[in-house]
Amino acid sequence: MAVVKASSEDVKLLARLMRAEAEGEGDLGMLMVGNVGVNRVRSNCLDFKGIRTIRQMVFQRPGGFEATIKSYFYQRARESEIRLARKVINGERYHPASYALWFFKPQGACPANWYNQPNTGRYKAHCFFAPTGENCPNVYGTY
């Protein structure tokens, strides 16, 4: 059962975002990007107050995803990424992105905090950061 509302077009949009942000990190890397996206829709906190849809999350300005300004983001969604997008929309979580609202690719080691949010771990090139429970309780809610 979906943990965020998603039309078939929303699923394709999330799939395109996941591929554009993390295709080089394989399925697991793309799933983690999807976790961050779903968490942003669910959170209603910090930089993501009022973000209620996948479309709003993907195209949020400022604070959205860099990939949306690149041409490869606008390629058609492939069935393999659509399947991955459905997994995260249906509530599957992947550590270290399980509750993360941010990720980025640093030049070196992951910092302990990013914009005052603790590091939850690294997967390949990306570091993930999750808010504290008192700042964003909706991210930590059960499905």
Whole-prediction pTM: 0.96
Q: What are the residue ranges spanned by the domains of the chain? A: 8-140
Going by pLDDT thresholds of 50, 70 and 90, the confidence category of residue 84 is very high
Q: What is the mean pLDDT of residues 34-60?
A: 96
The listed CATH number (3.40.50.2300, 1.10.3720.10, 3.90.1150.10, 1.10.10.2520) that belongs to domain 8-140: 1.10.10.2520
Q: In this model, does residue 143 exceed pLDDT 80? A: no
Q: Give the number of other Cβ atoms within 10 Å of residue 26's Cβ.
A: 11
Question: What pLDDT shows up at residue 138?
Answer: 92
Query: What one-letter code names the amino acid at 24?
Result: G
Name residues whose C-beta falls within 8 Å of residue 120's C-beta, 6 or more positions apart in sequence: 95, 96, 97, 98, 99, 100, 128, 129, 130
Q: Say what percent of the chain tops pLDDT 70.
A: 99
Span 111-120, pLDDT tens digits: 999 989 999 9
Mean per-residue pLDDT, 64-70: 91
User: In terms of C-beta density within 10 A (0-12 exposed, 13-18 middle, 19 or more buried), how is residue 23 classed?
Assistant: middle
Average pLDDT over residues 39-47: 95
89-98: average pLDDT: 97
Which whole number is the average pLDDT over 55-72? 92
- Confidence at residue 115, expressed as pLDDT on a 0 to 100 scale: 87
How high does pLDDT run on average in the chain? 95
Please give the residue that has the higher pLDDT: either 115 or 60.
Answer: 60
